Amino acid sequence: MTTTPGFETLAIHAGAQPDPSTGARTTPIYQTTSFVFDNVDHAAALFGLQQFGNIYTRIMNPTQAVLEERVAALEGGTAALAVASGHAAQLLVFQTLMQPGDEFVASRRLYGGSINQFTNAFKSFDWRVKWGDPDDLQSFEAAITDKTRAIFIESIANPGGIVCDIAGIAEIAHRHGLPLIVDNTMASPYLCRPIEHGADIVVHSLTKFMGGHGNSMGGAIVDAGTFDWSATDHYPMLSAPRPEYNGVVLHETFGNFAFAIACRVLGLRDLGPAISPFNAFMILTGIETLPLRMQRHCDNALKVADYLKGHDKVGWVSYAGLPGDRYHQAMQTYAPKGAGAVLTFGLKDGYDAGVTFVEALELFSHLANIGDTRSLVIHPASTTHKQLTDAQKVAAGAGPDVVRLSVGIENVADIIADLDQALAKV
């Protein structure tokens, strides 16, 4: 092919070719822990980073490698690393950027698990999070100090369908010599490609829309290749000689994919959250249909949002795809093909109505996940956010009346009929 292949083509072909030893057309599951060396010199070259190749599946595996190339191609990055989960991806990114006592600024509108990871688990590494408000870009700048090493946001934020001004936050980050990390899980690269708007690192929970079928955990880190790690001495994992590799300086040696290499040969090697070859295979299969699924998710979600908006038991609907929504303008810049599958709405009768509604649904599954082919529902106030005080619930976007849907790709008439019968019982 002479021109750059389109997104749909990359989703099926990027990184893959018929298996060189068997001719197998789909990428095989290389279910092995380790790989034979050609000879002693080959082994030494692999261990010394003079040559790329498979050693041990904790560090690299051929099924995982196809997944990495595919995700990098879809995001427009120079390289990617696949790991065991979205949280593992975030851990490795920060472990590569931060020293004890360093700080980062994160959007306060994030997936709840990320808020927990940043406030609790990261504390034991002495990595300190400060919060910015995506509706007030100035708050990110105000939180930056001489200890800040990165800014972290979600492209489309969960819950509530907030669309972040990625370019605006990238401009602040770069003016202060900081990389911008964007969690692109909710949008997927089909809807939004953060690197085109200034992101330096993209992270994913592949568990959600990328895998798409609710059957496999996975995560990814994508290196945009845009950040100059040697401009300061703030990122010693990249810019200082590494004693464990004979004094190699990763940024000098690997240039515009040094960040992905550092996450692999330091973070993944030493911390160990490798993705299984089987899960890499399942997620690769899911990605082949990402464009079709994502468009159907968006089309169905918009119809559901429209239906809910017209229902007399519904107080409000938050979905950036709705004209007039607070984030509709930003959506047209950052996710013009659709605002994703996830939307929230409020029941006029509050907490008890939320519980009755969720229990009355039949097609929707009541569980704590998003990005399955199936339609999913959760009432955060009675489940994921039950431990919080009422004031904390409201601040987290999980007030007593809030219901969150991840609209699936079933027939939309069936989805709306299920919502309709459940609302009738409220």
Ligand X SMILES: *Cc1c(COP(=O)(O)O)cnc(C)c1O
| Residue closest to 149 by CA, chosen among 177, 124, 108, 182 | 177
* Residue 207 near residue 86 (C-beta atoms within 8 A): yes
With respect to ligand X, which residue has the nearer C-beta, 219 or 408?
219
Half-sphere CA count of 229, side-chain side, radius 13 A: 28
Nearer to ligand X by Cβ, of 325 and 372: the residue is 372
Parallel/antiparallel/unpaired status of strands 402-406 and 128-132: unpaired
Can you tell me which residue has the tokens 């409201």?
A: 394
Closest distance of CB 339 from ligand X, Å = 15
Sheet bearing 201-205, strands edge to edge: 79-83, 219-223, 201-205, 180-183, 148-154, 103-107, 128-132
- Sole binder of ligand X in the list 27, 185, 276, 318 (CB under 6 A): 185
Q: Binding to ligand X by residue 216, rule CB under 6 A? A: no
Please, what is the minimum distance in Å from the beta carbon of residue 370 to ligand X?
A: 6
Given the complex with ligand X, which of 82 and 250 has the nearer CB atom? 82
Integer CA distances (angstroms), 48 to 43, 51, 211, in order:
9, 8, 34
Residue choice 86, 211, 267, 397 for contact with ligand X (CB under 6 A): 86
Tokens linked to 291: 């464009």
Q: What is the tally of helices (H) and strands (E) in the chain?
A: 18, 14
Which 108-167 residues touch ligand X, going by CB under 6 A? Answer: 111, 113-114, 154, 158
Which window, 3-11, 21-29, 81-89, 160-168, contacts ligand X (CB under 6 A)?
81-89
Binding mask 9-38 for ligand X (x = CB under 6 A): ------------------------------
CA-based nearest residue to 187, from 288, 308, 306, 297: 297
- Our CB check for ligand X shows the closer of 77 and 371 to be 371
Q: Which residue is nearest to ligand X (CB)?
A: 86
Contacts (Cβ under 8 Å, ≥6 apart) of 123:
none
Closest contact distance (angstroms) between CB of 93 and ligand X is 12
Closest to ligand X by CB, 86 vs 267, is 86
**Binding of ligand X at residue 188 (CB under 6 A)?**
no
For 380, the token pair is 């955060």
Give the shortest CB-184-to-ligand X separation in angstroms: 8
Does position 372 interact with ligand X (CB under 6 A)? The reply is no
Where do we find the tokens 């931060």?
98
CA atoms of 49 and 46, how far apart (whole Å): 5
Helix %, strand %, coil % of the chain (to 5): 40, 15, 40
Instruction: Kindly state whether residue 186 participates in binding ligand X, applying the rule CB under 6 A.
Output: yes
Question: Could you say which of 68, 75, 165, 183 contacts ligand X (CB under 6 A)?
Answer: 183
Q: Where does this chain touch ligand X (CB under 6 A) — which range of 80-88, 174-182, 248-256, 290-298?
A: 80-88
CB 415 within 8 A of CB 374: no
Q: Closer to ligand X at the Cβ: 128 or 208?
A: 208
Q: Which residues between 193 and 212 bind ligand X (CB under 6 A)?
A: 205, 207-208
Residues 99-118 that bind ligand X (CB under 6 A): 111, 113-114
DSSP state, residue 377: E
Query: Which of 70, 87, 234, 264 forms a contact with ligand X (CB under 6 A)?
Result: 87
Rounded CA separation 210/163 (Å)? 19
Q: From 274, 238, 234, 235, select the one nearest 256 (Cα to Cα).
A: 238
Considering the rule CB under 6 A, would residue 217 count as an interface residue with ligand X?
yes
Residue closer to ligand X, measured from CB, 242 or 404: 404
- Using CB under 6 A, count the residues that bind ligand X: 17
Q: Which residues bind ligand X (CB under 6 A)?
A: 85-87, 111, 113-114, 154, 158, 183, 185-186, 205, 207-208, 217, 219, 370
